Amino acid sequence: MICVQTQHFNLNRTLLLAIGLWPYQKSKLSRLQATLCFGILTSFVVFQFTALITTQCTADFIIKVFSSATFFSIYIINYNMFWINTHHVRNLLEELQCICNELKNENELAIFNKYGNNAKRCTSVLASFAICSAFIATLLPIWPQILNTILYINESQLQNQTIQFVTEYFVDQQKYFYLILLHVNAGICIGTITLIATGTMLLGCIIHACGLFTIAGYRMEQAMTTKIFENINLENRSICEKIFYAVEIHRKAMKFTDLMLSSFEGSFLLLIAITVICLSLNVFAIFRNALLGNKEAFILHLLFVLVIFLYMFVANYAGQKVLNYSTHIYSSAYNVRWYDAPLHVQKMILLILQRSSKTFSLNIAGLFVISLECFAMLTKASMSYFTVIYTMQQ
């Protein structure tokens, strides 16, 4: 028997345990861990916004603050999304395990296991990219010393190069420099783990849903094989049962996907809005720092943009795959030898065709259909806002 948690979501479990979000962990220590992680993320964003209180607010300064603050706000939304919906995450895993336990056919189990392994590989690749990005972000401010491109840097020069984020802690920043640096790096590391842990968890669920749609198509094809039609009079009941099982797994796949969407719908809408704003501001920051010759800030904002683009693309590509896989059972039902089947079987297939002809997709509040088209639309919107900001600054 396949254990979904340990075999397919093992790496996700490790990442979520690291930030106190694993739904099966309910100890006091885990609650303290979650509170501490959320507090670090929230305080880091708050201390960026407090700079607006003590500094004269010019248009450039406001954009500089918001470009980084909105990026880290994405971390907070993702963390809060899983923290307050712990029971929904647990329900998703239990629902997936129940579906897996009902699979008895070896070929169906092989399909399910194949997509589970695909989810593990995607998690590993994205986690590696996230670790590299976090490593660059934490070491970028002191890269001249690390690469030995200069012969000597005194402490004050190092501090000036290290604090890339505009913050206001209402203390002497030179005196508490290392504590502030620790807080910044902690925010980056916790945020990175949060983004990759929550993102890959949802991605893994979507990949498993694609596997369920594939199993539905496989069952439909097996129900209408040539071997069955060799003795059609004796196998009418068998055909009906197999078609029923195909429809049932298709229904469960759609139910599982709808459960995932309904659990996080509000957070998804907020994430879309913040991501579009963040991308616009950081693209502008890239152009602005390129003109000013600020290499460290340029690379930092470029890293932000790459992370946002990757996040948006992976999410929308996953939605596109669900859309494609959900139509697979339609093509399977359409291409089988339905004309050789008894009349009542043809009626069942007709119902399947009518049901499957309606495109099933990841629809968020009826506003966004997660797909590659949505990715292009959000990117276009971000570039439009960037153009407006850039024009206003001229």
pLDDT digits (tens, 9 = 90+) for 174-201: 788 788 888 888 998 999 999 999 999 9
Using a pLDDT cut of 90, give the percent of the chain over it. Answer: 38
Of 165, 199, 159, nearest to 70 (Cα)? 165
pTM confidence score: 0.87
pLDDT of 42 above 90 = yes
The pLDDT, as a whole number, for residue 280 is 94
Return the percentage of the chain with pLDDT > 70, whole number: 81
Q: Taking residues 352-364, report their average pLDDT.
A: 72
pLDDT digits (tens, 9 = 90+) for 228-286: 555 555 455 666 777 778 778 888 888 899 889 888 988 999 999 999 999 999 999 99
Average pLDDT over residues 72-85: 93
Give residue-wise pLDDT tens across range 8-27: 999 999 999 999 999 988 88
> Is 80 exceeded by the pLDDT of residue 327?
no
Residue 158 has pLDDT above 80, yes or no: no
Higher pLDDT, 231 or 105: 105
**For residues 165-169, average pLDDT:** 82
What pLDDT does residue 342 have? Answer: 65
CA distances from 238 to 58, 169, 228, 275, 351 (A): 74, 71, 9, 51, 18
